[in-house]
Amino acid sequence: MSQKLNAKNHIYRHEVYLPAEEMILAEFVRPPMKVLDIGCAATGRSARLLREFGCDVHSIEINEAAIAEFARRDDSHDIFLTTADMSQLPYADDSFDIVLIAFHGMDYMHSTEIRQRAFREFSRVLRPSGRLIFNAFNRLGLVLTPQGLFSPAYLKVRLKHILSGSFLKATFTDVNNLELRQAIPQSIIREVKETAGLDLVYATNQSGSSRNLLLLSLMASAPYYVFG
């Protein structure tokens, strides 16, 4: 079996459009806010989006090869890039108006101790009125989501996920052999509150069509969360 991928050896190169992400940023981001984008990967997708909103964008990535690849792109200009670990941020207290961990960046963090250290770091570098924004896999929603019901390939992956009992575990291995964490929304909300002292502003599905926490808990495969 090939080696499982993780944040240090996986180079993420996908370009995805997530309506919820853009909706959230449009609601909370105003120029010239100072924003920390965590996990720019090789495309800098979210960092470039934040720049379009007129922000002062600082972006970190733990994978040196990925951030170097993004730095070579012509569209990486005006984004301050740093190789760093999200659980040990190289920034002063109260530095940022927004901390964004886009598209499953938090799910690379399997260790409870390290993940909670990261949440405390986010709280430390956020200004008092700041917002923490991220999304995360929901182990119940991965099973019950209506997403992909008409895709034979997606249904095959979901059936394997159910039959293997993966949805009952703290982590699962995706189709790319990437090990990722999964947790129900209530657990995530409680963890952020207890470790970082941040309250949930709202959560939404990836389409941005619902903020009903009960529905999200049951049917959203990877909700987006806003804390402050």
Q: What CATH number corresponds to the domain at position 63?
A: 3.40.50.150
Distances in whole angstroms, Cα of residue 4 to Cα of each of 60, 86, 118, 179: 23, 21, 23, 6
Q: Would you say 108 and 61 are in contact if contact means Cβ atoms under 8 Å apart?
A: no
Structural domain contains residue 130: yes
Structural domain contains residue 25: yes
37-40-43-44 Cα dihedral, nearest 10 degrees: 20
Structural domain contains residue 118: yes
Domain that holds residue 200: 19-137+183-227
**Which region among 6-10, 29-33, 138-142, 197-201 has the lowest average model confidence (pLDDT)?**
6-10
Task: Compute the average pLDDT of residues 78-86.
Answer: 97
The answer to whether residue 212 scores a pLDDT higher than 90 is yes
What does the pLDDT look like over 16-72, one tens digit per residue? Answer: 889 999 999 999 999 999 999 999 999 999 999 999 999 999 999 999 999 999 999
pLDDT of residue 12: 83
Distances in whole angstroms, Cα of residue 103 to Cα of each of 91, 127, 160: 23, 23, 23
Kindly indicate the confidence band of residue 149, based on its pLDDT and cuts at 50, 70 and 90.
confident
Peptide bond into 32 cis (omega under 30): yes
Q: Report the predicted TM-score, pTM, of the whole model to 2 decimal places.
A: 0.94
Residue 143: how many other CB atoms lie within 10 Å: 16
Task: Compute the average pLDDT of residues 114-133.
Answer: 97
Question: Which residues are 162's β-sheet partners?
Answer: none
Structural domain contains residue 165: no
Task: Compute the average pLDDT of residues 90-118.
Answer: 96
The answer to whether residue 3 scores a pLDDT higher than 70 is no
Structural domain contains residue 196: yes
pLDDT of residue 1: 40
Instruction: Name the residue with tokens 């249904």.
Output: 155
Query: What is the three-class DSSP state of 213?
Result: helix
Residue 221: how many other CB atoms lie within 10 Å: 22
